[in-house]
Amino acid sequence: MKNVRSADGPTRGQVARLILELGPSTAATLGSRLGLTPAAIRRHLDNLLAEGLIETRTARAYGNRGRGRPAKVFVITDAGRSAFEHTYDDLATDALRFIAETAGPEAVSQFARRQVADLERRYAPAVAHGDLAARVQALAGALSADGYAASAGPAPAVAGSAGEQLCQHHCPVAHVAAEFPELCEAETEAFGRLLGTPVQRLATIAHGDGICTTHVTDVSRVTAAGKASAAESVVQQGKSTEIFTESGGLLT
């Protein structure tokens, strides 16, 4: 990570990367993962906050919450995300602008699908076997190997819908995709083909969300009553990326 060097050495960068990979995280969890004392982790977090590389949010809890103040979590900001390498962002954006201006928006979509086709070919063997949960986990592993810091787990139970949830905590092309969402759309389509089941993108880093979140429907577990309302309900559940705990799971 660039621009996160100081008298604290590389540890501050490790703290920022861990927040990037885990999503919204408490100070206690970050300190535990890195073996730091409460005082040490607070110092690093205060410095990252002062530099605008992270920010605090109140963790959103679903269901009945016990007494006490809501948990405070730390999340990466756009500036913090930008401190990690974004290879050739400006060049890629300029190239896509040129394609859009000279050949039209559909040409951008065709380019995006062509780029994702390579990813799809490489990932296909890894996700070809096992039940849906295992295949989504395999997809998360393949994405992580490509720098997306991905994780997967059971999706929230929503109005008769059931399935898995795929999270990408980092996007190497987020700045480009912010202007050209065709990249996200092509990737989502590829996930659906790889997993052989309907998928729905709920949130994207490119659009300002903390995590790229994709709902993967397990059609064998969707009730008849839930089929009509599942998509709309899942979108509403997925609006906030703060439902993720620091361990990559879901707040309940």
Note whether 236 and 180 are within 8 A (CB): no
48 confidence band (pLDDT: 50, 70, 90): very high
Q: Which residue has the higher pLDDT, 19 or 221?
A: 19
- The lowest-confidence range among 117-121, 135-139, 141-145, 236-240 is 236-240
Note whether 87 and 176 are within 8 A (CB): no
Alpha carbon distance 141, 123 (integer Å): 10
The two three-digit tokens of residue 97, written as one number: 């602008």
Is the pTM here over 0.85, yes or no? no
**Per-residue pLDDT, 225:** 41
Judged against a pLDDT cut of 80, whether residue 197 lies above it is answered with yes
**Per-residue pLDDT, 209:** 86
Residues 6+ apart with CB under 8 A from 180: 93, 96, 100, 108, 112
C-alpha distances in angstroms, 228 versus 50, 93, 199, 209?
47, 39, 15, 27
One DSSP character per residue, 104-149 reads -HHHHHHHHHHHHHHHHHHHGGGGSSS-HHHHHHHHHHHHHHTT--
- The SS3 call for residue 172 is coil
Over residues 226-231, mean pLDDT: 48
User: What is the share, in percent, of the chain residues with pLDDT greater than 90?
Assistant: 48
**Per-residue pLDDT, 97:** 93
**Per-residue pLDDT, 102:** 95
Q: pLDDT by residue (tens digit) across 70-125? A: 678 999 887 887 776 554 577 788 899 999 999 999 999 999 999 899 889 999 99
Over residues 196-210, mean pLDDT: 91
**Per-residue pLDDT, 221:** 75
Q: Which residue has the higher pLDDT, 99 or 2?
A: 99
C-alpha distances in angstroms, 150 versus 95, 141, 249?
28, 7, 12
- Tell me the residue type at 45: L
158 confidence band (pLDDT: 50, 70, 90): low
HSE-up of residue 14 (Cα within 13 Å, Cβ side): 13
Over residues 3-7, mean pLDDT: 45
Over residues 163-187, mean pLDDT: 91
Sequence length of the chain is: 252
